[in-house]
Amino acid sequence: MDEDPTKQITKLVWSLGNYEAIARRTMPAAMQLVDAAGVAEGDEVLDVATGSGNVAIHAAQRGAVVKACDLTPAMIDLARARAEREGVRIEAVEGDAEDLPYEDGSFDHVFSTFGAMFAPRPEVAAAELFRVTRPGGLVGMANWAPDGLFGHQTRLLQSYAPGGVPGPDPMMWGDPDVVAERLGPLATEVEVTRLSAVHEYESWDAVREDYETNLGPAIALRNVLDPDAYEEMMGRLRDLYTAANRSGGERFVLDAEYLQVIARKPQA
């Protein structure tokens, strides 16, 4: 069967730019999630939609046995190279959050930071995260808050995507009520904590350079939009960032709010 064209586009978009530079800003959230879940030496861990391996790297540094997957082959290359540089071992393969290439009950902990939330069928992705978790194990997620900076930013970028973005709003994964509705039937307990990741830039020009150099979706939009539409989008993005800036000056200090989710799978 041919692959869903939407997922082919996703692979292409996230192959653009330098995602590892973007992911450095979300590494603290990945570390916070792994630590909150209590990952210990010898635990078997899966990092779904690994990106450049934030969760995978930190879990491996704690002594876990780590596997990772991502829809985009370029991300797998990043995660493997980074693990080698940092002297840890992970097994990384191409894999779809809606169809994970692992047996039932394979892992003590299954994580996804700002990744599985973008799967177009959230109920399918949720079921897959729990399917590959052992009875009594933990599923952990970090998801951008819909009313936070990156929730607004994502919706802004998506509003300029030609043809729109199919599926439900991925930002709803950052709503505690929606998380409870989606994960409640799969878990014995669901713990949610609203947290914030601080992002800092020297100026708006530094923000723009970061996005136009590193962020795949922004690069894709620059390639397909006419110049006037693209500049309009960037102007709206600047307004959004300026309103959120708490530095009081040219430097940008931004709070990107997200929801940390830790849910326990029932015992057999």
* Strand ranges inside the chain, DSSP E: 44-48, 65-70, 90-94, 107-113, 133-144, 189-201, 252-264
What is this structure's pTM?
0.94
Nearest CA to 143 out of 193, 69, 206, 79 is that of 193
Please determine, looking at this structure, whether the domain spanning 5-264 carries the CATH number 3.40.50.300: no
Annotated domain spans of the chain: 5-264
Q: Tens-of-pLDDT digits for all 268 residues of the chain? A: 356 777 888 888 888 889 999 999 999 999 999 999 999 999 999 999 999 999 999 999 999 999 999 999 999 999 999 999 999 999 999 999 999 999 999 999 999 999 999 999 999 999 999 999 999 999 999 999 999 999 999 999 999 998 777 778 999 999 999 999 999 999 999 999 999 999 999 999 999 999 999 999 999 999 999 999 999 999 999 999 999 999 989 999 999 999 999 999 999 7
CA distance 134 to 170: 26
